Amino acid sequence: MSTVRKVGVVGWGAIGRVVGTALAQGRVTGAELVCVVDHRPLGGATPAPQVAFEEALERCDLVVEAAGQGVVREWGERVLASGTDLLIASTGALTDDDLAKRLLAAGPGRVYFTGGAVGGLDLLQAVRSLGPLEGVRLTTTKLPSTLEQPWMSQDLLTRMRTATGPVEVMSGTAREVPARFPKSTNVAASVALAVGDLDAVRVQVVADPAAHRTRHVIEASGPHGAYRFEMEHVPDADNPATSQVVPYAVLRSLAAIAGRTGQIL
C-alpha cells in the first residue's frame, strides 16, 4: 500500500465538501483526494473527478462516508471486501446489529468510525475495560426545525413549531433513536459504540427554539467513577441538522489513519 492514502469522499454536502477541500489543499499529511462520489451530477465543481462508486473502489485505498446511513448499509461490506478501508461518519447505521457484525467481520479492508460532534468517547471506551458502565444517558437539544420527521404526529409537530421552551421529542435507547432521526442523532450510536451496548444508553431528544447551538450532554457512571461531558456546537450554515465541527472531526480521524504524529489517540 502507498505511504500516501488515496482517499475517495462519498457525499459532497456539508461534511464532504469541507473534508474533500481540505484533502485537495494538502491539509492532511499522508492523504490525498483522488475522487468524489455523489448521486447528483456535480458538474466539475469538485477538486477531484466525480466517479461511480465502483470506480472509486479501484482508485482508493480509503473511502470516507459522508452521505448518510443508507450508504453504509448499501456499500459498507463491498468497500471492505474490495480491500479498501472505510471511515464512517454516519454511525447511526450501526444500530442495526446484523449490519454492525457484518462490517466488523468483513475485510480485508478495515472499518473506522469518527466520534463526530461528541467528545469523551475515548475515556468511556477506556473505562468500559474496567467494567460495565451504568446509567449512561445522552441528552441532545436542537432547533425544532432540524428535528422534524415524516413519522411525527401533527400534534407533536404543532407543539414543536409553536414551542416557547424545550419540548421532549423522543426518549428511547441508542438502538431506537438514530433510526427515527437518521440525519440528526448519529451521536447516540457513537456513544453506544464507546460504551459497547446500544440498549444501555438512554437518549432524550429535545427541541428548543432557543437552541442556537446544538447541545449534547453525556452522563455515565460505574463502579470506577462518574463522568459528564457537555458540548455546545454552532450548527452548519448549509445543513443545520449537523454541527459545524463534524467535518473537522472526520479530518482528525483521517489524520490519525494516515499516521500523522502528535495525535491524541
> Model confidence over 146-196: pLDDT tens digits?
999 999 999 999 999 999 999 999 999 998 998 898 877 788 989 998 898
Position 98 scores a pLDDT of 87
Distance (Å, rounded) from C-alpha 253 to C-alpha 256?
5
At 43, is the pLDDT very low, low, confident or very high (cuts 50, 70, 90)?
A: confident
Average pLDDT in the 247-253 region? Answer: 93
How much is the mean pLDDT over the chain? 91
Residue 76 predicted with pLDDT over 90 = yes
Residue 81 predicted with pLDDT over 50 = yes
Residue identified by cell 468517547 is 121
Position 132 scores a pLDDT of 86
Taking CB atoms within 8 Å and a gap of at least 24, the contacts of 98-107 are 99/72, 99/73, 102/76, 102/77, 103/72, 103/76, 103/77, 106/76, 106/77, 106/80, 106/81, 107/80, 107/81
Position 1 scores a pLDDT of 46
Position 186 scores a pLDDT of 84
Position 12 scores a pLDDT of 94
Residue 214 predicted with pLDDT over 70 = yes
Position 238 scores a pLDDT of 83
Name the residues annotated as catalytic: 216
Q: What is the pTM of this model?
A: 0.88
| Residues 138 and 218 sit within 8 Å (Cβ to Cβ) | yes
DSSP letters along 200-228, please? GEEEEEEE-TT-SSEEEEEEEEETTEEEE
Domains, in order of start, for the chain = 5-116+245-258 (3.40.50.720), 121-233 (3.30.360.10)
Q: What percent of the chain has pLDDT over 70?
A: 98
At 129, is the pLDDT very low, low, confident or very high (cuts 50, 70, 90)?
A: confident
Position 265 scores a pLDDT of 65
At 223, is the pLDDT very low, low, confident or very high (cuts 50, 70, 90)?
A: confident
Average pLDDT in the 47-66 region? Answer: 94
At 75, is the pLDDT very low, low, confident or very high (cuts 50, 70, 90)?
A: very high
Q: What percent of the chain has pLDDT over 90?
A: 62
